[in-house]
């Protein structure tokens, strides 16, 4: 063993959490080491070739608003963009993009290699080094020891990874990579509780063997879309996806071979994702459903591989081939990569602070699937927060903790560290109680000031933010000042636009609350200035939903009273009278930072919260 280097921050793993963590720490000014099992698989997409979707698209926009890289990288490498849920309200509009997987990897690798203060090395970490409750660094299999003030665990699904295809099982990571087999034992020696989770992926098939004429075309949007608030891309090469369905023959083959399914015969021990089940789980869980939809998604512009979205499986290979050939358009499909399940170790996130630092080990953070989440976007969101807070710790500055009312990232992390998870956690819009405030279109307005405060948002992004905010404020003020009177001329203009006439004087802002009255219509009729599309969208949404937004802001204000009541770090819940035993046990284990967080812990009732508040008031009076 020899000392090979010293850094401010070390990041273990270079997946979507690891790269965001490393880039954030380095850009803030910390000397940072990013360690990966393979230099060729930085930011690899081992599962579906896409970024975004419901709630996940919100996370990408928020990572971008803070100064992260995922949105910028996606805009430059994705080959199809679609806005989902456009028939619903703006709170659930979600941008989703198909990625060119290899291009995404290579560009992110290039970004990491050219970032100041950041070193990237191909190394396998076997031990974390600790002393007196503080992190000291890591040891690698090659005998190198790297010291650091902060270490971020971003190991994804590689901790004791185990690949399972039918009766075949072997140690390994995704896509045939190595697994980190020794690091789990080191974590357990440090007193860290581990869980065993499982995820899976479908087969990849050869596009030359598919009959797309039997499938439904799924093209991208005509309008140019971007994730990043910095991107100005107006045109890009787009490729289509295709929709097809399973049928009763597919289901019959799966039912006939269910005894060979690893999930049914005890080969798989880990807990799988509820919201992304395997096809065999779908057939068992929904026996009356006649078909399940499948999307054929291209993996890139320079490969013939297609991803069979919705067909995740760990069935034996002969069964995979048999049921694939029952699907319209896949009758002659050739499999290029088998579908498989992967089991892996992850930590119980209840051991983390809201900063993603371990409660019992100063300077040790964890982010991504190693915290029990699923998805590239959830990983990136945790990664950037862990990177920011590791840098803040190194520099002796206040950490960044986002509230549930400030972002989906706040909801995600609060859910993990307050409620924990017993299955791979997936972000959904239904998890956010203030989702009308947390729209994807206003992520920059919500979070860019935070990114600026910690030193991650640079001048170009800050100037764009200020220009947009100023344009929104000026436009809303103008619409409030400009009064329409019910004259023949005014009502004639409104009638020509398909807007009901008015009978009393009103500002244009009030008129815009009518569904028919968009800004562009009124601009032409009433001599309003031309504004950027993103400004127009923000103004229209804020005015049309003003009443609902105000109600949510009032809810936030009420909750802030509880969130602002911070709990002492050394509080002894054992001496607080009248707390129920379950609440006392949960509060002692989780150690919430505020009364608001305490109230969200499963097993802590409103009555327990009242007891807690009374105790705090009594202690305050005594002091």
pLDDT one-digit tens code per residue, 568-585 = 888 999 889 888 989 999
Phi, psi for residue 325 in degrees, rounded to 5? -75, -5
Same domain for 365 and 484: no
- Give the residue from 441, 457, 473 where a domain finishes: 457
Closest CA to 71 of 89, 54, 52: 52
Same domain for 149 and 18: yes
Weakest-pLDDT range from 125-129, 460-464, 499-503: 499-503
Asked if residue 265 has pLDDT above 80, the reply is no
Condensed to tens digits (0 to 9), the pLDDT of residues 48-76 reads 999 999 999 999 999 999 999 999 999 99
Do the Cβ atoms of 75 and 231 come closer than 8 Å?
yes
In a domain, 248, yes or no: no
Weakest-pLDDT range from 160-164, 265-269, 420-424, 577-581: 265-269
In a domain, 315, yes or no: no
Same domain for 37 and 183: yes
Reading the block at residue 430, the tokens are: 């239904």
Asked if residue 1 has pLDDT above 90, the reply is no
Same domain for 52 and 178: yes
- Give the residue from 552, 574, 603 where a domain finishes: 552
Same domain for 153 and 12: yes
Q: What confidence tier does 210 reach under pLDDT thresholds 50, 70, 90?
A: very high
- Domain holding 588, by residue range, is 565-622
Q: What confidence tier does 525 reach under pLDDT thresholds 50, 70, 90?
A: confident
Same domain for 103 and 65: yes
Average pLDDT over residues 226-231: 96
Q: What is the DSSP string of 536-586?
A: HHHHHHHHHTHHHHHHHHHHHHHHHHHHTSBPPTT--GGG-TT--HHHHHH
- The C-alpha atoms of residue 550 and residue 588 are separated, in whole angstroms, by 36
State the pLDDT at residue 564: 87
Same domain for 586 and 504: no
In a domain, 246, yes or no: no
Reading the block at residue 94, the tokens are: 């979600």
State the pLDDT at residue 170: 93
* CATH number of the domain residue 514 falls in: 1.10.10.1800
CA angle 82, 88, 93 (to 5 degrees): 40
Condensed to tens digits (0 to 9), the pLDDT of residues 334-353 reads 999 999 999 999 999 999 99
Asked if residue 413 has pLDDT above 90, the reply is yes
Asked if residue 425 has pLDDT above 90, the reply is yes
State the pLDDT at residue 622: 84
In a domain, 77, yes or no: yes
Asked if residue 162 has pLDDT above 90, the reply is yes
Average pLDDT over residues 219-226: 93
Same domain for 534 and 492: yes
Do the Cβ atoms of 562 and 577 come closer than 8 Å?
no
* CATH number of the domain residue 137 falls in: 3.50.50.60
Same domain for 609 and 478: no
In a domain, 324, yes or no: no
First-to-last alpha carbon distance for the chain, in angstroms, is: 52
Count the helices and strands in the chain (H runs, E runs).
Answer: 21, 22
- The C-alpha atoms of residue 477 and residue 499 are separated, in whole angstroms, by 22
Do the Cβ atoms of 333 and 204 come closer than 8 Å?
no
Q: What confidence tier does 310 reach under pLDDT thresholds 50, 70, 90?
A: very high
Average pLDDT over residues 122-147: 96
Average pLDDT over residues 453-459: 97
Q: What confidence tier does 323 reach under pLDDT thresholds 50, 70, 90?
A: very high
CA angle 36, 39, 45 (to 5 degrees): 80
- The C-alpha atoms of residue 54 and residue 438 are separated, in whole angstroms, by 13
Asked if residue 18 has pLDDT above 80, the reply is yes
- The C-alpha atoms of residue 140 and residue 263 are separated, in whole angstroms, by 34
Helices (H), 78-210: 101-113, 183-189
- Give the residue from 457, 485, 506 where a domain finishes: 457
In a domain, 220, yes or no: no
Please count the residues of the chain. Answer: 623
State the pLDDT at residue 175: 84
- The C-alpha atoms of residue 399 and residue 407 are separated, in whole angstroms, by 16
In a domain, 418, yes or no: yes
Percent of the chain with pLDDT over 70: 100
Same domain for 419 and 543: no
In a domain, 489, yes or no: yes
Q: Is the dihedral of CA 57, 60, 65, 69 positive or negative?
A: negative
Q: What confidence tier does 412 reach under pLDDT thresholds 50, 70, 90?
A: very high
Phi, psi for residue 210 in degrees, rounded to 5? -100, 145
Condensed to tens digits (0 to 9), the pLDDT of residues 340-386 reads 999 999 999 999 999 999 999 999 999 999 999 999 999 999 999 99
Asked if residue 298 has pLDDT above 90, the reply is yes
Same domain for 604 and 473: no
Do the Cβ atoms of 475 and 489 come closer than 8 Å?
no
Average pLDDT over residues 317-326: 97
**Domains of the chain: total:** 3
| Residue bearing the bigger pLDDT, 543 or 235 | 543
Asked if residue 168 has pLDDT above 80, the reply is yes
* CATH number of the domain residue 600 falls in: 1.10.150.570
Asked if residue 603 has pLDDT above 90, the reply is no
Same domain for 435 and 466: no
Instruction: Give the chain's mean pLDDT.
Output: 94
């Amino acid at each position: 063993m020899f000392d090979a280097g010293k850094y401010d921050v070390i990041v273990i793993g270079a997946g979507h959490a690891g790269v965001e963590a490393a880039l954030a720490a380095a850009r803030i000014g910390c000397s940072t080491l990013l360690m990966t099992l393979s230099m060729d698989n930085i930011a690899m997409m081992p599962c579906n070739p896409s970024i975004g979707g419901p709630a996940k698209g919100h996370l990408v926009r928020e990572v971008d608003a803070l100064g992260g890289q995922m949105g910028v990288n996606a805009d430059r490498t994705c080959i199809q963009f679609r806005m989902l849920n456009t028939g619903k309200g703006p709170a659930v509009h979600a941008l989703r993009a198909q990625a060119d997987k290899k291009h995404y990897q290579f560009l992110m690798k290039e970004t990491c290699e050219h970032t100041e203060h950041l070193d990237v090395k191909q190394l396998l970490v076997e031990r974390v080094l600790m002393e007196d409750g503080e992190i000291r660094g890591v040891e690698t299999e090659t005998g190198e020891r790297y010291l650091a003030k902060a270490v971020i665990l971003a190991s994804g699904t590689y901790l004791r990874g185990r690949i399972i295809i039918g009766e075949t099982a072997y140690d390994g990571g995704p896509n045939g990579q190595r697994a980190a087999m020794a690091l789990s034992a080191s974590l357990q020696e440090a007193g860290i509780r581990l869980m065993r989770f499982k995820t899976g992926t479908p087969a990849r098939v050869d596009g030359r063997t598919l009959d797309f004429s039997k499938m439904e075309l799924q093209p991208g949007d005509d309008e140019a879309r971007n994730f990043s608030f910095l991107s100005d891309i107006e045109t890009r090469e787009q490729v289509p996806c295709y929709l097809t369905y399973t049928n009763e023959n597919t289901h019959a083959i799966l039912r006939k071979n269910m005894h060979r399914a690893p999930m049914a015969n005890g080969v798989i021990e880990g807990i799988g994702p509820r919201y992304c089940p395997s096809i065999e789980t779908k057939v068992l869980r929904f026996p009356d459903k006649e078909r399940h939809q499948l999307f054929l998604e291209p993996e890139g512009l320079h490969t013939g591989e297609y991803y069979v979205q919705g067909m995740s499986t760990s069935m034996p290979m002969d069964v995979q081939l048999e049921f694939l050939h029952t699907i319209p358009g896949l009758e002659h499909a050739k499999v290029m990569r088998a579908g498989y399940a992967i089991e892996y170790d992850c930590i119980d996130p209840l051991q983390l602070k809201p900063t993603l630092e371990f409660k019992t080990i100063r300077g040790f953070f964890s982010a991504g699937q190693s915290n029990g989440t699923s998805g590239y976007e959830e990983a990136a969101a945790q990664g950037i927060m862990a990177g920011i807070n590791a840098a803040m710790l190194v520099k002796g500055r206040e950490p960044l903790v986002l509230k549930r009312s400030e972002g989906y990232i706040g909801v995600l992390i609060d859910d993990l560290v307050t409620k924990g998870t017993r299955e791979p956690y997936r972000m959904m819009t239904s998890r956010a109680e203030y989702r009308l405030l947390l729209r994807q279109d206003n992520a920059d307005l919500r979070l860019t000031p935070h990114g600026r405060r910690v030193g991650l948002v640079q001048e170009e992004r800050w100037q764009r933010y200020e220009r947009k905010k100023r344009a929104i404020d000026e436009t809303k003020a103008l619409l409030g000042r400009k009064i329409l009177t019910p004259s023949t001329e005014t009502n004639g203009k409104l009638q020509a636009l398909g807007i009901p006439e008015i009978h009393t004087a009103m500002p244009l802002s009030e008129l815009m609350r009518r569904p028919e009255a968009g800004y562009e219509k009124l601009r032409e009729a009433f001599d309003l200035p031309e504004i950027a599309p993103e400004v127009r969208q923000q103004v229209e949404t804020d005015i049309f939903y003003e009443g609902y937004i105000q109600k949510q802001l009032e809810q936030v204000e009420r909750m802030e009273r509880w969130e602002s009541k911070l709990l002492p770090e050394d509080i002894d819940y054992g001496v607080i009278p009248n707390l129920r035993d379950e609440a006392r046990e949960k509060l002692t284990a989780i150690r919430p930072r505020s009364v608001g967080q305490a109230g969200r812990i499963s097993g802590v009732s409103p009555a327990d919260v009242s007891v807690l508040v009374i105790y705090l008031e009594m202690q305050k009076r005594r002091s």
